Structures are given as C-alpha cells and as structure tokens.
Structure 1
C-alpha cells in the first residue's frame, strides 16, 4: 500500500481512507491512478481490519475526470479505440466498487467531473461540501457518459434529469444535487471532515456482513423481479442470522446495552 504514487490508502480504526492524490492535476484519472485504485480495492477485500471505505480527493476538488492531457494519447489516429480504457480500467474499477464487501462513503468537494462523478456516486453514502459541483462533461468533448453513468444516474435521479445532465453538460451545484437525491447530505466545507468522520466511525462499528449483504441485495434488486429479490432476501437473512454480530445484537437488545459488533 505504501508504494502507491497516485493515491493514498490508510487503514485506521476500521476505516480505510482512499485519497485521490494528484492535486496538481485536480486528481485527473490517469491510467496509473486507476490501476492503483483497482489494486487498492483488491487489497481491501483481504484486509480484515477494514470495515468501511472512505474515498476522498486531495487538494482543490474531488476529481476533474479522465486525464486528457497524456502526451501519448492516440486520439485522432485511425486505430484509436475510445472504449479500450473503459474495458481495461474503468469497468473493472466500478465492478470492484459495487462488489466490495464493505460500505463505501465518498466525501467530495470542488469539481466532481466525468468518470470522477461516477466514482463518487458509486458510494453508498455521498457527503458533499457546499463547494462541490457535479458535471457530466463527456458531451462537451464529443463523447458519451461512461464508468457506469448510464446505469447509475437514471436510477438515482430519474430519466429526465439524468438525460439533462448527460446531454447539456452543465454543472449541478451541491444544493441541487441534494434536492435531486444525488447525495445524502451537503455541509459547509469546513464541516465536511467532521460530518464524514461521524458516519465512517459509525459504519466501522457496525455489522459488516449485513452491510455487504445489503449492498449486494440492492444491486440485484435493481436488475431482477420482486419474486427474485424475495428469494435473495431469504438467503441473505439466513447468512446474517448465522453471524456473530446477530448473536451480539440480540444479546445487547435483551441486556439493554449498545451492541459491540466485530464485523463477523
């Protein structure tokens, strides 16, 4: 984890803090950065200390989106394939985020642009500073939304608003994002760290297996029938009911004390 050059990853007191760390480039999503994020997510699956993932951006904003300044870009050449970077980097990253058996919180400020928008909104709980704004910038350079935007945005805010974001390419300020249901909360920039710490600390003390089953179930439910979802809920409840955290939760309820979950 210490070998990362474009991100920072620290696990402390159950909270894994992953920071996009290219502040001089507004945390533009270069291929090395994306590769490191994928490696970090794979490592977190094996890290028994981590019980919640927090994703943040260093510097003036969360992310300016894809790094279009790379000097070796083959844009304009006859064999250029704009989807190749999606297949190799963005798609595996988003799949890993949704499959991670930990709750994910994103703390965002300043620009949240393009694929950076998708990464931020793929979290389970999104806390935005008042300075944050969302921008589906793809159309402004003649591209289509990617990194799961076409799947995620209509489910979050409905077809009409999603299409307006994608086709108009205009900034959506934090307050509007809250009104639309894109984010969980908007706070003053000075209060962002405190608000996020309260949420991540609560999740880090919670029943981690139940969180994982909820995350998996919500994704499944968006793609299947009610009957199929009921079947999943029955199996998920069997797994949760066999956990040490359920036994502790019941004991704490009966003894009228706070539960001390261990994530198992």
Structure 2
C-alpha cells in the first residue's frame, strides 16, 4: 500500500493498475480520477504491455464518484462539477475499450456507479462471490456515464439494462455471469491471482490479432454490412502480415505449439 490512490505494477508484459484509496473505499476523488486516467493511458500506449489487470483494494473495486467531493464541486455550479465526465471518466473508458491489448477486471469488492462502468469497459471480469454490483446513478438523481449505455445493453440486453438502470437494482456476480456479463466467480482471495493468470495467458497470445478483434467489435455496431466485411478483410490482412501469424501456421503444420511474440 502507498499514499497514491492508484498504483501501477508491471510483471513482464502484464501491468496491474490498482485503485488503492482505502480511506474512500476507492471512491473516485479528483486526484484518483486523474491518476487512473494517466495510468490507463500509459498502459494503452506502451507497446511492451500485452495485457492489463484493473483492480481495487479495501474490499471495494470502485464506488464511483466520491460524493463528498462532488457535493463541494456542485457549490460552484453543475457545469463545473460535471466537467469531470469529459475530463476523466470518458478518456478512461475510451482507453479501456479501445486499447490494443486485453484488459481484465479483478472485481474483489463492491462495484457500483462508475465502478460498474469501468468493469464493463474491460474485456473480461473475475468477480469475488458475494460482492455487490449496480449502477446506482438513479439513486442520486443522475443518469449514467462511463459508457454504460453501450456496454450494459451489449452485455445483458436492452430490457434488462433498463430494469437495472431505472429501478436502481443491485445484483450479484452470479446473476451478472448468467445474464451474459462475461466473467467467472471465485473466492475473494482468488480474484486477483486468477485475473493475473488470465492476463498472463492473454499476454502470451497474438497481440495484434487481439487488437484487431477489439477494434472490429467496437466499430461494428455503427457500420453497414459492406463496411463490416471490408473492415474484417483489412484487419485480417494486417494480422496476416505479422510474424505471429506466419509462425503459428508453420507450428500448426509441424504439429507444434505456436509461440506468439506480439508482432
């Protein structure tokens, strides 16, 4: 534990970004939001990083916005208080969704509000059994941010997303997985080790192919069929030009296990 609200650790090609502000149960103060934004951007830009784990300490993944700080900001007017959405939340979610490498959320504690948005912006999740999940925005008279209008319906369907958001309903990890929020549920002490294990597995995979896969999935909803097919053809060609593809084909023909080096 350090005095910094966000801690970054690197082991080989895997970076772990940890929300570490137990005094606020990982609610996002302005300092934490800036540190998280910068840490995620740095991981996204580092070509030596091939997988990322996002997690939190203090029995909380993330409680979303720190409401004490938010109340003080409201005294200066709503416009000033909500500038943080564009300044902090949106860049973090954009980088999580689009960075050219897989991101695993290790959700070991309460995950609500913007915390849920952060978790759903990752590619896969590992949940601790018994944690509380929820949007929580309606409970304080707000609609949502952190990309939930995209990620939540995509994961659970439009009707259930409306139910969760309008009725401000919390839900369990078991429900989340059953509804289609990809992930697995493990004991609390196993959450981070399992997430790191998955990240290491993905970091040893075809990084360029993973990047193209994330890009295609992110862009497909706004495209026509012809645009989708063209984008797939171009992405396939880009992957085909990599040493990872050539080596994997040769390994297949030799009945050997391929080794992916990320290029």
TM-score band, normalised by shorter chain: over 0.9
Tell whether 2:112 aligns with 1:113.
yes
Tell whether 2:209 aligns with 1:244.
no
**In structure 1, C-alpha distance between the alignment counterparts of 2:238 and 2:199, rounded to whole Å:** 24
Name the SS of the counterpart of 1:16 in structure 2.
Answer: strand
Shift >4 Å, 4+ stretches: none
Evaluate the alpha carbon distance shift between residue 138 and residue 176 of structure 1 in structure 2; reply closer, same or farther with a 3 A threshold.
Answer: same
- Of residues 121-130 and 29-38 in structure 1, the stretch that sits farther from structure 2 once superposed is 29-38
**Within 5 Å, which residues of 2 pair with 1:98-247?**
98-247=97-246
Name the SS of the counterpart of 1:27 in structure 2.
Answer: coil
Name the SS of the counterpart of 1:145 in structure 2.
Answer: coil
Shift of 1:72: 7.2
**In structure 2, C-alpha distance between the alignment counterparts of 1:92 and 1:194, rounded to whole Å:** 27
Measured on the aligned residues, the alpha-carbon RMSD in Å equals: 1.8
Instruction: Assess if the C-alpha contact under 8 Å between 1:107 and 1:127 holds in 2.
Output: yes
Instruction: Assess if the C-alpha contact under 8 Å between 2:14 and 2:203 holds in 1.
Output: yes
Shift of 1:4: 8.4
Measured against aligned partners, the alpha-carbon deviations of 1:80-131 in whole angstroms (never above 9, x if no partner) come to: 2253111111111111222211111111022101001000111111111112
**In structure 2, C-alpha distance between the alignment counterparts of 1:14 and 1:202, rounded to whole Å:** 11
Q: Which residue of 1 aligns with 2:86?
A: 87
Name the SS of the counterpart of 1:140 in structure 2.
Answer: helix
**In structure 2, C-alpha distance between the alignment counterparts of 1:115 and 1:166, rounded to whole Å:** 13
Shift of 1:55: 0.4
Q: Which residue of 1 aligns with 2:257?
A: 258
Q: How many pairs are equivalent?
A: 261
Evaluate the alpha carbon distance shift between residue 13 and residue 172 of structure 1 in structure 2; reply closer, same or farther with a 3 A threshold.
Answer: same
Instruction: Assess if the C-alpha contact under 8 Å between 1:130 and 1:186 holds in 2.
Output: yes
**In structure 2, C-alpha distance between the alignment counterparts of 1:80 and 1:210, rounded to whole Å:** 43
Measured against aligned partners, the alpha-carbon deviations of 1:207-264 in whole angstroms (never above 9, x if no partner) come to: 1111100000000112222221111100000100000110111121122211111111
Q: Which residue of 1 aligns with 2:51?
A: 52
Scaled by the length of structure 1, what TM-score is found? 0.93
Scaled by the length of structure 2, what TM-score is found? 0.93
5+ unaligned residues in a row in structure 1: which ranges?
none
Name the SS of the counterpart of 1:35 in structure 2.
Answer: helix
